Structure 1
Amino acid sequence: MKITETTFPITEVREQFPALKRTYHGKPAAYFDGPGGSQVVKSSIQAIAAYMENGGGNLHGCFPSSWETEEIIAEAKKAVGDFLGVQTNEVAFGANMTTLTIAIANALGKQFQAGDEIVVTEMDHRANVDPWLLMAKDHGLTVRWIQVDTETLTLDLSDLNDVINEKTKLVAIGLASNAVGTIIDLAPIAKRAKEVGAWVAADAVHAAPHMLIDRDQMGIDILLCSAYKFFGPHIGIAAIKEDIFKDLEPYKLVPAPSYYPDKLETGTQNHEGIAGIQPAIEFFASFGEGETRRQRIESGLVKIEAYENSLATRLREGLAAIEGVTLFEADRSVAKTPTIAFQVKGTAPEKVCKIMAEEHSIFTASGNFYASTLAERLDINKTGGWIRAGLAPYNTFEEVERFIQAVSELK
């Protein structure tokens, strides 16, 4: 589907994001830093404020603000269930994806023994690598790596049957690279994991704003994402299959619930933040049609993805035409999120970002974005990492042209 600003309701979309009214040095701010955290939709901001203004309350109380808090959490989990294709009793909230993954890894490690193996990848954000490496170290597990093909910027699956074998207990995989945008070919990895009885733990933090996710259909057992990447608050989300969740033994206080999903939600949760999750998910559904929220999310994401990809295609083409710009991306046959990583010859990535902000009011970021193994394999850490431009449904073609022009003017 090809879509443009004439067929996408960009004016209405932008009106829903108060941050877009910001100016910097007298120019409208253009946000290209979505992969690091999106701007927040107005309905989510309003829900957060309303919760706090009406008087929040902790759980299990005999008063209205406590009951209302419990209802808000329940409604948020229903929305997440529709967003990820999971049951509401499989959803847990936490501070962020990293914290949740560490807790889950610690708990799962109790079920493994020395000699068992886990698999991680060279493409992933370290939040879906290091918690598993630490767990493996604690329990004497062997770690195997799915390597990245540095020429194609995809995972090398040529020896998949050896990497994932009868000793494998868990495979940790990202659905999309937060650095270079490659959408991972998950199907053969999940299929091989199931053949040997291994669990699949998937990092959907970068993918969730840009593609429809159906945990069970995709062969995932443990799925994690973060609402602040899809127009909501800073809340981590875990969706763990019920048969795994019921046996999970996370660290917790003695009086805390021992039933799932509550047993993973240690301490008092960020209730006001949780109040902002459902409106963020409803933003996706607002673009779609159908009798159920899941159907509206699905059809809505098709439109969002098409629009974002149109923007990304123009940005990639524009940057590729500039002398001295090197793009780090898979070829056109590989599906990608609207995330573009590049370098400019002779100008350090951080300096590029400063010039973009100070001279053009364009906000974009540099570094390795915790995809440090990929950065090492591509040998870009010594040159300051990548410049990363990420697109969201509130970006415009005019902003893309501003971005291209700004890069072309770099000296």
Structure 2
Amino acid sequence: MPLDVAAVRAQFPSLRSGVAFFDGPGGSQTPEVVAAAVASTLASPLSNRGVVTASERRADDVVVQARSALGDLLGVDPGDVVFGRSMTALTMDLARTLARTQGWGAGDEVVVSSLDHDANIRPWVLAAEAVGASVRWAEVDPATGELPLEAVTSVLSSRTRLVAVTGASNLLGTRPDVRAVADAAHEVGALVHVDAVHLAAHARVDRAALGADLLSCSPYKFFGPHLGVLVARPGLLGDLHPDKLVPSSDAVPERFELGTLPYELLAGAAAAVDVIAGWGGGGSRPDRLTSAFAAVEEHEDALRERTEQGLRQVEGLTLWSRAAHRTPTLLFTLEGVEPSAVHRHLARLDVNAPASHFYAWELSHRLGLGSTGGVRVGLAPYTSTDDVDRLLAGVDEVAATR
């Protein structure tokens, strides 16, 4: 079933501004029903979770419904869904917890990839350094933007304790073969943490299908509010013991959630999942999510091809997104023009396409782009062909004034 782009766009009040938004990889626009869910939760009688008063039960219902929604989105049991302030904060806590709980030490190894956002690199590097473990790097191929499987397998050993890999690069869109990486890691007894922050906005994510032991994402990248989500394979969270306050719950997943949860944000995250499911067909919510993402991928891939064709016609423009399998995310630079200047020119035309390394620090340097990075074009379900044509016209204008 094709995506009804007009109907999708009608759900996003910010699009009425006339701005063409290509900055979704840094944070998507928000549907009206998501904002309403946040506001109505805040405006309703609300207390800390409990079973005595109506307001206590309302808070508990919000948490239960949010875990159910994110469980359906990511293919996990609701009891294996952890909420936190951000994916970065959750991963920092997780890395420290794993290092301590599993007794990492000298001689042990952690594998990280230069394709990744720094939020799936630095927490593991810091945790390894703190206990004297070693860090090994799986290197991206700068010519293609791919992360070859052999780049990972060549640095695995019997001492590998964890492999951290992205589901999709937030800078280039590259989608490595996560399942093959996970299978190789499991063969040597290592755990696998997948950063699905960028992937979850564009494709159906299933933890088990990816082979991930642990997986993180951020609802604000797929039309929800700002918070982080961590999920795990069954039983794993029960083996981990994070730092926590003495009187706080030791139940799973609550032992990983420091302090009172932001109920209004959880309500918004659940609403965002239902928005996506609403773009699919009939059946259960997981079934509707599957058909919705199939429609989203078809729409976004067609727009990506249109965008790439237009950008390739621009003299002096280099497209860095070259991997065979990727999300609709394009990074480009224009000879003789600073990426920030392109960003500013497009902004004057009400086209939002930012310029940076976008925290893919290692990758930007491997590509030779340093701390400057490039201009990133992120397509989304609400992107229209008119948006793309306005972007291309704006880039042409910049190129013509060099």
Kindly provide the CA deviation profile for residues 54-84 of structure 1, in whole angstroms up to 9, marking residues without a partner as x. Answer: 1332223632112101101101110111100
* SS at 2:200 equivalent: coil
Equivalent of residue 39 in structure 2, options 39, 49, 52: 49
- Matched ranges for 1:18-57 at <5 A: 18-22=13-17, 28-57=18-47
- The corresponding residue for 1:407 is 395
- Matched ranges for 1:249-398 at <5 A: 249-331=241-323, 334-358=324-348, 360-381=349-370, 384-398=372-386
* SS at 1:200 equivalent: strand
Structure 1, 280-289 or 367-376: larger mean CA deviation? 280-289
Shift of 1:161: 3.3
Shift of 1:283: 1.5
Distance in 1 between residues matched to 2:318 and 2:138, nearest whole Å: 25
- Matched ranges for 1:25-104 at <5 A: 28-60=18-50, 62-104=52-94
- The corresponding residue for 1:239 is 231
Equivalent of residue 182 in structure 2, options 172, 177, 190: 190
Kindly provide the CA deviation profile for residues 304-347 of structure 1, in whole angstroms up to 9, marking residues without a partner as x. Answer: 1110111111011101111111100125xx11111110011111
Q: Aligned letter for 2:394?
A: A
Equivalent of residue 143 in structure 1, options 131, 135, 146: 135
Shift of 1:157: 2.9
- Matched ranges for 1:165-244 at <5 A: 165-244=157-236
TM-score by length of 1: 0.94
Shift of 1:290: 3.7
Shift of 1:385: 1.1
Distance in 1 between residues matched to 2:167 and 2:41, nearest whole Å: 33
Q: Aligned letter for 2:386?
A: E
CA contact (8 A) 2:167 2:195 kept: yes
Residue 12 of structure 1 pairs with residue 7 of structure 2 = yes
Q: Taking every aligned residue pair, what percent have the same amino acid on both sides?
A: 39
Distance in 1 between residues matched to 2:376 and 2:395, nearest whole Å: 13
Distance in 2 between residues matched to 1:409 and 1:171, nearest whole Å: 44
Distance in 2 between residues matched to 1:365 and 1:146, nearest whole Å: 28
Shift of 1:241: 2.0
Q: Aligned letter for 2:7?
A: E
TM-score by length of 2: 0.96
Q: Structure 1: which 4+ aligned runs deviate by more than 3 Å?
A: 159-162
Q: Aligned letter for 1:109?
A: A
* SS at 2:199 equivalent: coil
Q: Aligned letter for 1:13?
A: V
